[in-house]
């Protein structure tokens, strides 16, 4: 059985799945191959039930792949970390139609928002304005802000975070349509 972006040649009695990159196989039998955006598993069909051994080992090594998925779902849509480094992080986000993120601020990071497609209503401090495709804004540290998608299509944006601390727990929420508190 195959699922996703998969191309097989002379492959017998195997399960091949891709949730991201192209996976090709050649001359294999009785294997399970699963490629996600952050990891690849290759095992014999007979050992596929032993995956929990790998997960336990990864957890003991402190590997994020064992506990988190690259795409993080929220009530308003989702985001995915594209790249991170020391003092910066790049995320791709999709905000569903007609919803908004919480009114919030960050003590340790600034954010740059770039609209890829869709329309964003932005509240930044005392300003309120609209961003359209290929437009951007900068949210300084300690600035109250909110993003809303008033459009009829999902809003896709790139967010570049920079600062001394980039964790999701650096969120102070003032208003939230979903009843969340800090860091969710």
Side-by-side strand order, sheet with 155-163: 71-74, 77-85, 88-95, 155-163, 109-117, 136-139
61 in Cβ contact with 49 (< 8 Å): no
What distance in Å separates the CA atoms of residue 169 and residue 166, rounded to the nearest whole number?
A: 8
Digits of tens for pLDDT over the chain (184 positions)?
Answer: 999 999 999 999 999 999 889 999 999 999 999 998 888 999 999 998 898 999 999 999 988 888 877 888 999 999 999 998 999 999 999 999 999 999 999 999 999 999 999 999 999 999 999 999 999 999 999 999 999 999 999 999 999 999 999 988 999 999 988 887 655 4
Question: How many angstroms separate the CA atoms of 44 and 99, rounded?
Answer: 45
The reported pLDDT for the residue numbered 129 is 98
pLDDT of residue 88: 97
Q: Which helix (H) or strand (E) holds 59?
A: helix 51-60
pLDDT recorded at residue 120:
97
pLDDT for 108: 97
Domains of the chain (ranges; CATH) run 2-66 (no CATH), 71-175 (2.60.120.10)
Residue 73 has φ and ψ, to the nearest 5°, of -90, 140
pLDDT score at 89: 95
pLDDT attached to residue 182: 55
């Amino acid at each position: 059985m195959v699922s996703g972006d998969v191309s097989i040649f002379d492959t017998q009695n195997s399960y091949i799945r891709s949730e991201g990159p192209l996976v090709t196989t050649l001359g294999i039998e009785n294997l399970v191959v699963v490629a996600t955006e952050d990891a690849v598993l290759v095992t014999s069909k007979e050992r596929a039930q032993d995956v929990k051994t790998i997960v336990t080992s990864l957890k003991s090594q402190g590997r994020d792949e064992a506990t988190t998925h690259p795409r993080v779902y929220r009530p308003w849509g989702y985001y995915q970390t594209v790249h991170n480094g020391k003092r910066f992080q790049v995320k791709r986000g999709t905000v569903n139609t007609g919803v908004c993120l919480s009114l919030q601020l960050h003590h340790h990071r600034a954010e740059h928002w770039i609209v890829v497609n869709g329309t964003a209503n932005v509240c930044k401090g005392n300003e309120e304005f609209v961003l359209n495709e290929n437009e951007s804004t900068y949210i300084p540290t300690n600035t109250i802000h909110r993003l809303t998608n008033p459009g009829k299509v999902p809003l896709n944006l790139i967010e570049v975070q920079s600062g001394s601390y980039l964790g999701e727990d650096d969120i102070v929420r003032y208003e939230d349509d979903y009843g969340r508190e800090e860091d969710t």
